[in-house]
Structure 1
């Protein structure tokens, strides 16, 4: 079987290390689920999530071009967290204030730049007077 990034396949956990789990995809091919790809959030112990011999459904997220090592993910198959619909009535969205319509850009910095340069030069002069 030719594997490609984005494929969702089933495999069998063949080994577990503190940094991740090795998964056999077929008789000749093995991939690694890094601990950060096991699930969203902090994972204190990978042994609480996976066991050797367990069948898992994983997504291929990377294939190293030179070594042909395959990186796998369980996390990519989790349901995405929908922060718009948490503790809000149906068909109603929370409004998060953003400043995307404010068009100040770097103007406040440009307005103060001369003042900051003068202040920095004055501080340098003070330090050189103290050291002389």
Structure 2
């Protein structure tokens, strides 16, 4: 049986180290589940999660040229909520169109360069004014009252 990246297999834990667990796969091959791939949360002691002889479902995450097999227990679990959350969090940003930071604001119609530039300059001036007002009053910069 050939072991391919992405396949889910049943295996038996044959050894535990401080950095992970060795799992025997069908066909007699052995792979390593790194401690970071055991559970979704932080694993300080792998012995709290696995014991030698446990039957586990693993997913093959990489196969090296020298025969080393990287496995994951947490990726083998069916977690559609986690996958949806990751897709939402790591969605690539579309940098082609205008940014719409104000959610209540309707998308703008096509603007020409001059309109975009004037809007940018106005926003920039507003931000600089606000920034100066907040930082100078806190640091006692120019124009701050001293008493």
Do they fold alike, i.e. is TM over 0.5? yes
CA displacement at 1:101 relative to structure 2: 1.9
Q: 1:75-121: per-residue Cα shift (whole Å, max 9, x none)?
A: 102343748xxxxxxxxxxxxxxxx52399xx68xx69xxxxxxxxx
1:33: which partner in 2? 33
Q: TM-score, normalised by structure 1?
A: 0.60
CA displacement at 1:41 relative to structure 2: 1.3
1:48: which partner in 2? 48
Alignment of 1:71-110 (within 5 A): 71-80=70-79, 82=81, 101-102=100-101
Task: Measure, in 2, the Cα distance between the counterparts of 1:77 and 1:28.
Answer: 20
Task: Measure, in 2, the Cα distance between the counterparts of 1:12 and 1:56.
Answer: 6
Task: Measure, in 1, the Cα distance between the counterparts of 2:66 and 2:77.
Answer: 28
Task: Measure, in 1, the Cα distance between the counterparts of 2:18 and 2:62.
Answer: 20
Q: How many residues align?
A: 92
Q: TM-score, normalised by structure 2?
A: 0.54
Q: Could you say what the CA RMSD is over the residues aligned between the two structures, in angstroms? A: 2.7
In structure 2, stretches of 5+ residues that fail to align are: 83-98, 103-115, 126-147
Over 2 Å off, 4+ runs:
77-83
In structure 1, stretches of 5+ residues that fail to align are: 84-99, 113-132
Q: 1:12-33: per-residue Cα shift (whole Å, max 9, x none)?
A: 1000001000001135310000
Q: Identify the structure with bigger relative contact order (alpha carbons < 8 Å, sequence gap 6+).
A: 1
Task: Measure, in 2, the Cα distance between the counterparts of 1:74 and 1:61.
Answer: 10
